[in-house]
Amino acid sequence: MKRLALFLLVCMSLFWIQVSAVHALDNDDSYQPIPEGRLHFIDGVSPATFELALDQVWVRPAGKRAFVESIDALASNAALYHFVSAREAAAPDDECGMVAYLAGKPRNDSTIRFVTRKVTVQLKEEARTIEHANAIAAELGMQHQRDSISLSGWTVFFSMNSADSMPMAKIVNDHPLVLNAHAMIGFRAATKSCADTQANAIFVPNDPVHIDQNALRFGIMNIPNVWVNADPFFGLPLLLRPYAGFGRVVAVSDDGVDWDHEDLINNTNRTGQFDYIAGDQDPDDNGVHGTNVAGIIYGEGANGIGISGVVPKARGAGIRWDIGITDDENITRVIGHKAYKFDVHNASWGMPDGSLVASSPGPLTLDELKFKSVGSRPLPYVFQAGNGNLNNNADPDGNVILDLSTYDGFANDMHTIAVASASAFLDNQEDTTGEAGSNIICAAFPPNATTAIDNEYEDIDDFSSFAAPVVS
């Protein structure tokens, strides 16, 4: 035992010397913390090769959405490292990081990645406790802020700044209680509707349950008949039966929800909602897409105004998060948010469409989906299938290449329900926006209209973003 204790003490001392060296050299212009040329990262759960963008950084001001900022082109990866370090030191409340692109691919939303200040860590079985994680992070001059370790032992350590996550990941990886570690790489997620093609036509609210705008679509799916089903077992009046969602709560993770909309406010579960950008319980901040989605699910029915949701007596809670620039740990927090409160979680988002690039969630997200979707009270996660064929992709010879839902690791996960838009395929088989795929569980017809921000209503198009909430 004494020899083992002495051995561990020596190891910890060496690690601390390494960590101190990394931090001490941050301000030394001759320090080369990352190699030049192409770099190798773990992208989701798979290794991939990237090139750092020497003319871009990403910035997340405190309490606001992150964005990509153009800078004067730098000469080297080392120069970029020092630029980011200095930028974060000058504004410690903000986060700034390096931007990378998949090597050999065009620059677009599907190939862009973001180097974060986080290190993804898998602990050995004997160290999979919060106490161990806190102690190891402290030894290495890092922070551990999570309140749980995933099923497979994954957690997250935070480095001093995003420029340090790559060299620090190597040090963490050598720790005797760590199986493996790598710098966490962020990516773009996207809502699955296309604002450029939405009609956004305002209509006069009218809702005696079967509203004029949605009656045909709801009728095709037999939704009104389900509402009025005279089941003698329940014997409850119209719109109080469980078929109308009474007693059920739905999570809507999106760009925000205008929860005090006249057709949403009475059906909002305020204790379940949250804003992961501002850090408060008010997700109402120009949530254009999320407000559309919320109305489709739990827009109040039989109130004489506006529209009716598919389950007009259910309650819902908006979860606002930064879809544009995110990472494995952020998504884990979103999909795990107060899961005990909800009966279903609607996620009308995923990897960017039309990329023809296969992308996977990270290990924490995969563990979270598995853990939350099984057990005595499983939480179904409903994802959209995608609309990647809006502008048919073509190869260099002009041959059309159809995007597939299976490229999206969220919709293609075995613990999620992927939903396609039935009307996207039926309206025009030769020019459909909808993506096919063996992962698709079902299809639904989106309604014609739903709630919109600022107490308005609008027409919507036939995208899977609006089919998923029908199934939810």
DSSP per residue, 123-168: E-GGG-SHHHHHHHHHHTT-B---S---TTSEEEEE-SSGGGHHHH
The confidence score (pLDDT) of residue 301 equals: 80
Instruction: Read off φ and ψ for residue 189, nearest 5 degrees.
Output: -105, 170
Q: CA-to-CA distance for 273 and 249, rounded, in angstroms?
A: 11
Residue 111: CA atoms inside 13 Å, Cβ hemisphere, count? 15
The confidence score (pLDDT) of residue 306 equals: 85
pLDDT band at residue 62, thresholds of 50, 70 and 90? confident
∠ CA 459-465-469, nearest 5°, is 90
Least confident of 29-38, 353-362, 441-450: 29-38
The confidence score (pLDDT) of residue 208 equals: 41
Beta bridge partner(s), residue 444: 421
Q: CA-to-CA distance for 297 and 251, rounded, in angstroms?
A: 10
Q: Which residue is associated with the tokens 């410690």?
A: 92
Highest-pLDDT range among 204-208, 260-264, 352-356, 455-459: 260-264
Does the domain formed by 190-471 have CATH 3.40.50.200? yes
The confidence score (pLDDT) of residue 357 equals: 76
Instruction: Give the pairing type, strands 249-254 and 344-347.
Output: parallel
Question: Where exactly are the structural domains of the chain?
Answer: 13-187, 190-471
| pTM, entire model | 0.85
pLDDT band at residue 219, thresholds of 50, 70 and 90? confident
Mean pLDDT, the chain, integer = 83
Neighbour-count burial of 24, counting CB atoms closer than 10 A to its CB (0-12 exposed, 13-18 middle, 19+ buried): exposed
Cα 76 to Cα 82, 96, 148: the distances in Å are: 10, 18, 39
User: Could you tell me if 419 and 384 are in contact, meaning their C-beta atoms sit under 8 angstroms apart?
Assistant: yes
The confidence score (pLDDT) of residue 324 equals: 87
Decide if pLDDT at 74 tops 70: yes
Decide if pLDDT at 243 tops 90: no
User: What share of the chain has pLDDT > 70, as a percent?
Assistant: 78
Average pLDDT over residues 181-192: 89
The confidence score (pLDDT) of residue 175 equals: 97
In sequence order, the 6+-apart residues with CB closer than 8 A to the CB of 397 are none
Instruction: Read off φ and ψ for residue 231, nearest 5 degrees.
Output: -75, 115
Least confident of 26-30, 128-132, 152-156: 26-30
The confidence score (pLDDT) of residue 277 equals: 93
Instruction: Read off φ and ψ for residue 38, nearest 5 degrees.
Output: -75, 145
User: What share of the chain has pLDDT > 90, as a percent?
Assistant: 52
